[in-house]
Structure 1
Amino acid sequence: METTISDVAGRAGVSKSTVSLVLNGRPGVSQETRELVLRAAAELGYSTRRVASSSPATRTLLLICQRYPGRSLDVLGHVYSAYIAGVRQACSAHGCDLVVLPVSAQMVDNGRSAADLMLNAVRADGALLLGLRSPDDRLLSLVRELDIPFVALGRHWSSADFSCIGIDDREALVAVVNYLVTLGHREIALVGETLVQTFMWHRLRVQGFQEGLARLGMGEKVDRIVLAATPEEGVAETLSRWPQTSAIIGIYDIWAQGVVRALKARGLSVPDDVSVVGFDNINGLGLDGGEFQTELTSVDPRQPDAGRLGVEMLLRCVEEREVAHIQTTLRWQLVQRSSSAPIARLQRGSG
């Protein structure tokens, strides 16, 4: 007898609607429950492929979304949703079936895991990957075992030996630094997050910050980087070490919004006292759910476009029946909003 979604729900001890949320990559489910459902589905050999819409000529693409522990990373679901929207649009246009598979980074790192079993349970023609931490992420090893073409979304690493599409994070941060300097800012700091500091995209953005300052003859300030467990701690350390700071770059938008809140809690105005810039363009995606109280100047990495073009790249590889290495760089855009402005305040005293 074929395994059903009811069987998975029964094994996991959750409702059918919860199973549906997990298997379709939707938010609103805790990491613990998500892993429980994936494990149950793997043990039962349940496949999320939609048999009713499949035919011999129909391509099935697998979208693997790697998620991480920690509340600050859960909010990256906003960004994932933008990529997924682009992928769904392209799959619909090409008549492809799409299987969305969320996996836990912890499960992936453990090797033979429920995530591994689920990957092998789905007979897909190709895979799209979201959430790679580096060019040697353990998830890549699991996907390569499937022996199907795959494309990494939102990543562009020149050292990668696989297909990927995304913006150049380093050059984007160089441009952010240049933008702030043109506004008159000279005391600029970058606030990053300790939890993700080893991830390649985080390292590239840090490098871009340093390179941007160096290119403008401000090499003596390239050490103005604070890695913290929370935005509040990052702001506190930044202002303690460099009281004259007039602009702060948050390593990504959710983090930058935390920087804005921390500055306001200290009685500082954004952007009159301190300008703030982020990365991801969450405001522009319309996915913040009203959480953001500040219209944030931010780098737009064009997530929906990456999703659509990633599908095009993958289908090309599938049709040619080879695992090609195609690297595509998207042109990012810096979207200026009310969180940044020309420097127009008296410098705070160093005391």
Structure 2
Amino acid sequence: MSEGNARRPGRVTISDVAARAGVSRGAVSLAFNNRPGVSEATRERIMGAVAELGWVPNQAAIKLSGSATGGGDTVGLVIARPARQLGLEPYYMEFISGVESVLEGQGCSLLLHLVRDTDQEIAVHRQWWRSRRIAGSILVDIQRNDPRITELAAIGLPAVAVGHPSLTGGFTSMWTDDAAAVNEAVRYLAALGHRRIARVGGHPALGHTMIRTTALDTITAELGLEPARSVTTDYSGEQGARATRSLLASSEPPTAIIYDNDIMAVAGLSVAAEMGLSVPADVSLIAWDDSQLCQLTRPNLSAMSHDVFGFGADVTRRLFDVVHRRNPTSGPAAVPALLPRGSSAPPRATAH
């Protein structure tokens, strides 16, 4: 078998059969489905290659390509989050809704699984792919030196990775420009007069957490602000509240805090009230991932807004390009836009 026709490790493809029999992929399909268009001798040669290689058609990919009808078309999504926490995260609910909007239009379905860590996720993806339960996967929460990138590429899993291309290896990727969004938020707060800005971030191993932390340190230094303090969490309201208490109880508390999601920002708003502080007079708050939560609080939370539903839909369309081998390209989503609301204002010392 030539290098150009080398099969994916652990999985025989129709291309492997075609190469072994010396025919086209279309001829393999005709012969396997007992359709006219190939001679009997060619059919026998093809079926011999099928038997020799142990090929079984990937029904999910066949259906996703539109050459078959019926249910069973499946895209995989594995998320390392506790079930209770995931149900409280508006971001993932919006993202999954966007994914489903595209799958529904294609007559396909989503196979969602929650796991403890990346090792378990790798095992789930391997089992899904080798048992032909999925046509491809969406990879989320990409980490620095993420083991999923090399392990899942090695088994030939068609996937789109949600993360900056510096983190996603050879996988097609889509991402949000986190650095640009951080710059916009900090420049806005600096223009209001804030000099001491803190951030309550996500898990430190996540690629976008590191990108945001680096961007925060860079822009605060560029603007001559006090060095920013970043506290990492698991994105839960509980840890967001704990981080906020720590920041506001310090000897030099920040006059503004940026949160990496809306749940933690809402928790931070409650902590400020608990400590007898006024928002935004004593401390300004900005949430990432604008949602209805941000608009139901009093005051309403200023937020970095982006179309998470549309992002999920775009990622899924890109995955279809990967599965169909339609020359998929990586690309960024629209940069999140700052929506100032009642939780941000000039600090008390500089208020007019």
Q: Which residue of 1 aligns with 2:100?
A: 88
Residues 137-156 of structure 1 mapped to structure 2, 5 A cutoff: 137-141=146-150, 143-144=152-153, 147-153=156-162, 155-156=163-164
Query: Once the two structures are superposed, what CA deviation does each residue of 1:47-93 show, in whole Å capped at 9, x if it has no partner?
Result: xx8xx99973459341313122496x535642111111112222333
The percentage of counterpart residues that share the same residue type is 24
Q: What TM-score does the superposition give when structure 2 sets the normalisation length?
A: 0.69
Distance change in 2, residues 1:179/1:149 (3 Å): same
Q: Which residue of 2 aligns with 1:41?
A: none
Q: Give the gaps of 5 or more residues in structure 2.
A: 1-59
Residues 1-351 of structure 1 mapped to structure 2, 5 A cutoff: 56-57=67-68, 60-69=73-82, 73-74=85-86, 77-93=89-105, 95-106=106-117, 108-110=118-120, 113=123, 116-129=126-139, 131-134=140-143, 136-141=145-150, 143-144=152-153, 147-153=156-162, 155-161=163-169, 162-193=171-202, 196-218=203-225, 221-227=226-232, 230-243=239-252, 245-283=254-292, 288=293, 294-320=299-325, 324=328, 326-344=330-348
Q: Following the alignment from structure 1 to structure 2, what is the Cα–Cα distance between the partners of residues 233 and 339?
A: 19
Q: Following the alignment from structure 1 to structure 2, what is the Cα–Cα distance between the partners of residues 88 and 197?
A: 29
**Amino acid across the alignment from 1:274:** V
Q: Following the alignment from structure 2 to structure 1, what is the Cα–Cα distance between the partners of residues 120 and 76?
A: 20
Distance change in 2, residues 1:172/1:294 (3 Å): same
1:241 is paired with a residue of what secondary structure?
A: coil
Q: What TM-score does the superposition give when structure 1 sets the normalisation length?
A: 0.69
CA contact (8 A) 1:188 1:247 kept: yes
1:226 is paired with a residue of what secondary structure?
A: strand
Distance change in 2, residues 1:150/1:292 (3 Å): farther
Q: How far does residue 264 in structure 1 lie from its aligned partner after superposition?
A: 0.8
Aligned length: 284
Q: How far does residue 238 in structure 1 lie from its aligned partner after superposition?
A: 1.9
CA contact (8 A) 2:304 2:339 kept: yes
Q: How far does residue 169 in structure 1 lie from its aligned partner after superposition?
A: 1.2
Query: Once the two structures are superposed, what CA deviation does each residue of 1:227-278 show, in whole Å capped at 9, x if it has no partner?
Result: 4682333233323435352211122221122211111100111112211011
**Amino acid across the alignment from 2:288:** F
Q: How far does residue 309 in structure 1 lie from its aligned partner after superposition?
A: 1.4
Q: How far does residue 171 in structure 1 lie from its aligned partner after superposition?
A: 1.9
Query: Once the two structures are superposed, what CA deviation does each residue of 1:75-118 show, in whole Å capped at 9, x if it has no partner?
Result: 5642111111112222333x241223223043x41477456424
CA contact (8 A) 1:277 1:339 kept: yes
CA contact (8 A) 2:64 2:73 kept: no
Q: Following the alignment from structure 2 to structure 1, what is the Cα–Cα distance between the partners of residues 283 and 334?
A: 30
Query: Once the two structures are superposed, what CA deviation does each residue of 1:29-61 show, in whole Å capped at 9, x if it has no partner?
Result: xxxxxxxxxxxxxxxxxxxx8xx9997345934
**Amino acid across the alignment from 1:124:** I
Q: Following the alignment from structure 2 to structure 1, what is the Cα–Cα distance between the partners of residues 317 and 120?
A: 32
2:231 is paired with a residue of what secondary structure?
A: strand
Distance change in 2, residues 1:199/1:228 (3 Å): closer
Between 139-148 and 96-105, report the one with greater CA deviation. Answer: 139-148
Q: Give the gaps of 5 or more residues in structure 1.
A: 1-48
Q: Which residue of 1 aligns with 2:24?
A: none
Q: Following the alignment from structure 2 to structure 1, what is the Cα–Cα distance between the partners of residues 322 and 273?
A: 50
